Amino acid sequence: MTAVQVRVAHGTPCWVSLLVHDLERAEAFYGPLLDWSFTPGSAEPGGYLEASLHGARVAGIGLAPERPDLPTEWTTYFAVDSTDAASARVRDCGGTVAVGPLQSDRAGRLAIAADLTGAFFGLWEGEEHLGWEVVGEPGAPVWSELLTNDEPLAAAFYGSVFQRQVVEADPSAVARGEEDATLRVEGHRVAGLRQTTDLRDGPPRWRIYFAVTDVDLTVRQCRALGGSVLVEPHDTPYGRVARLADPEGGRFSVVALP
């Protein structure tokens, strides 16, 4: 595998990060589970780790503030041409900018925002660090989808913030288990929006999927490494999927692509 630095199109997911209370524990879980290795990130040495898959950067794990009430959740970052302009559109659309915009050394400019229902997401204007360097391979991110209790509201919000098209799914596709809508960039599906009232999903949030070779094996490894299984492996239109949680409760999904 060769790491490739490519500027991701505006409005496309480009990075995922996780804040944890115990970095060593996170390394010990995600390293063997997804075949990741770790190096200190440039922004906060010792407090932020970059996860790599055979030399290609795929994710970041940082040390959370000393707040025991702070939930452990994965955050999806979207590439933007201007973090400041995108942050202004978030506010104009009724959302909240919780952090930033701020400069992260020479890596890029970022902000953390929340949509109208409280789902957090990141904005990333890459400079030296453009985002993940491999996707869609075992151990790498493959998909992000919004779990929301108001899909039409979310579709209008993200379409306006990213100035991209959001396409509603055909009812028959939704009945088969596909997303209710998809965010499109230059005609390509880049993220999903899913209406849900399933209490297991928790409050509105962006869910990240990592590709794996064997979902059932990954589930067994997750349990052995101290994680938990939220939804057992099952077949979907996109492949076999399971929903997992790390030892601190950080939720994510794994999928074996068909």
The domain ranges of the chain are 13-126, 141-256
Say whether pLDDT at 200 is over 80: no
Say whether pLDDT at 113 is over 90: yes
DSSP E strands: which ranges in 80-180?
96-104, 108-114, 120-126, 141-148, 165-168
What token pair was written down for 120? 């957090």
Confidence at residue 10, expressed as pLDDT on a 0 to 100 scale:
92
State the average pLDDT over residues 174-190. 79
Q: What pTM does this model have?
A: 0.91
Confidence at residue 1, expressed as pLDDT on a 0 to 100 scale:
45
**What's the whole-number average pLDDT of the chain?**
88
User: In CATH terms, are 13-126 and 141-256 the same topology?
Assistant: yes
Which pLDDT band, with edges at 50, 70 and 90, does 70 fall under? low
- CATH fold of 13-126 reads 2,3-Dihydroxybiphenyl 1,2-Dioxygenase; domain 1 (3.10.180)
Phi/psi-derived region of residue 80, left when phi > 0, alpha when psi is between -120 and 50, beta in every other case: beta
The answer to whether the beta carbons of residues 139 and 133 sit under 8 Å apart is no
Say whether pLDDT at 34 is over 70: yes
Among the ranges given (44-53, 64-73, 147-156, 219-228), the one the predictor scored with the smallest mean pLDDT: 64-73
State the average pLDDT over residues 62-72. 69
pLDDT tens-place string over residues 123-173: 999 888 888 998 889 999 999 999 999 999 999 999 999 999 888 777 665
Alpha-carbon distance of 238 to 70, in angstroms, equals 32
Amino acid identity, residue 172? S
Alpha-carbon distance of 250 to 30, in angstroms, equals 11
* CATH entry, 141-256, from 3.40.50.150, 3.10.180.10, 3.10.129.10, 3.40.50.720: 3.10.180.10
The total of other beta-carbon atoms located within 10 Å of residue 220's CB is 11
